Amino acid sequence: MKPGKEHFSAPLYLLFTLVSIGIFCLCVCTGSVQIPPKDTIRLIWDAVCAQIHGFISHTRPVLPSGTTASILLSVRIPRVLCTALTGASLSLAGAAMQGLLKNPLADGSTLGVSSGAALGAVCAIAFGITFPALPFAGTMVTAVIFAFLSLLIILGLSYKLDYSLSTNTIILIGVIFSMITSSLMSIVITFAADRVQHITFWTMGSLQGSGYPDALVLLFSLVFFGGAIFLHGRELNAFAVGEENARHIGVNVRRVRLIILIAVSGLIGVCVSIGGNIGFVGLVTPHMLRMLTGPNHRRLLPASLFGGACFLMLADLAARTMLSPRELNVGIVTSLTGAIVFILIFCHTRRGK
């Protein structure tokens, strides 16, 4: 196979990048205080220049001041950055899982992995599990571990009940598992109400008030875990064709599956510990993009990265502005759209049979 046929061409990447930047700017400009695009771009430019200047001359950077500047630089930009990174991570995790399990309905929220991670994060906060050097690493590490354990439990149970891992079994077990974890989470929150944030944050997710450190953590997890997924594009194609077939053509099935599951848990765990349980992002975007790019993961994975970022930025924009001045949780918007898409896929696959 010729190279380039399987991958995206450079112009297409450029187009994706431009669209993402466009949506980023739109999201940064819009809000309770409208900031004209021209001012936004100038402010960002000034801030970046000041940072670079400060870095070169080893002085404290002189950032642009004023209300608009502070809204933009310390509230909107970190929030939109976090949103984009969370969207990209969740949708990459969803795409990987759908390929691995050969199941277009698999996703952190439908399998119950996100609820598992949320339970882990809540437990860490309630019982005060922290690492002294890194203030929020405790929550994050517990969330990642819980996400991985959830995946093991769900897949283990599914394998036991039905070796072919059919859609029905896996979704049913996922639903039951998320119910259990949600109720456990409610119990923990009831007893530690003074320490744990409001329950809607954990069940519906929100990126309100996230800052630059969060964005940095998300970026690191995306590079590390997302990179692991990217390196296994061919293996994911093989799994998406069939696990037995993957073994026949020489894929080390056990090792690849373990790596992908760890990477997916890492991505979901980090996202949940920062933004709560934002559902269905990993279901909606890969599904829509598969119609555009086809199921080949060499194209689907990069597309999911950009698509997920755009989708969640727009969903967050809708959550902020639809009922302004009141703000919705972003998870409400994604779950609403996600549930509709879920029903559509389900009807489509049923009719196909």
> At residue 113, what is the residue type?
V
Q: Which of 1, 2, 6, 34 is nearest to 300 (CA)?
A: 6
- Under the binding rule (CB under 8 A), the answer on residue 347 touching another protein is no
Q: Which of 244, 325, 350, 351 binds another protein (CB under 8 A)?
A: 244
Q: Which of 69, 180, 253, 259 is the binder for another protein (CB under 8 A)?
A: 253
- Distance from the first to the final alpha carbon of the chain: 32
- Residue 160 binds another protein, judged by CB under 8 A: no
**Does 247 sit near another protein (CB under 8 A)?**
yes
Residue 241 sits in the site that holds another protein (CB under 8 A): yes
Q: Which of 231, 292, 322, 343 binds another protein (CB under 8 A)?
A: 231
104 makes contact with another protein (CB under 8 A): yes
Please identify, using beta-carbon distances, which residue of 249 and 322 lies nearer to another protein: 249
Distances in Å between the alpha carbon of 310 and those of 19, 86, 210, 282, 307? 8, 10, 18, 13, 5
Site map for another protein, 292-321, x if CB under 8 A? --xxx-------------------------
Contact 261, 148 (CB under 8 A): yes
Burial readout 131-165 (b: 16 or more C-beta within 10 A, e: otherwise) = eeeeebbbbbbbbbbbbbbbbebbbebbeeeeeeb
3-state SS class at 277: coil
CA 284 to mean position of chain CA atoms: 12
**Per CB under 8 A, 248 contacts another protein:** yes
Judged by CB under 8 A, the residue of 20, 40, 103, 178 near another protein is 103
Indicate the residue among 109 and 237 with the shorter CB distance to another protein. Answer: 237
The verdict on 79 binding another protein (CB under 8 A) reads no
Rg (CA), the chain: 21
Q: List interacting residues with another protein (CB under 8 A).
A: 1-2, 102-104, 231, 234, 237-238, 240-242, 244-245, 247-253, 290, 294-296, 352
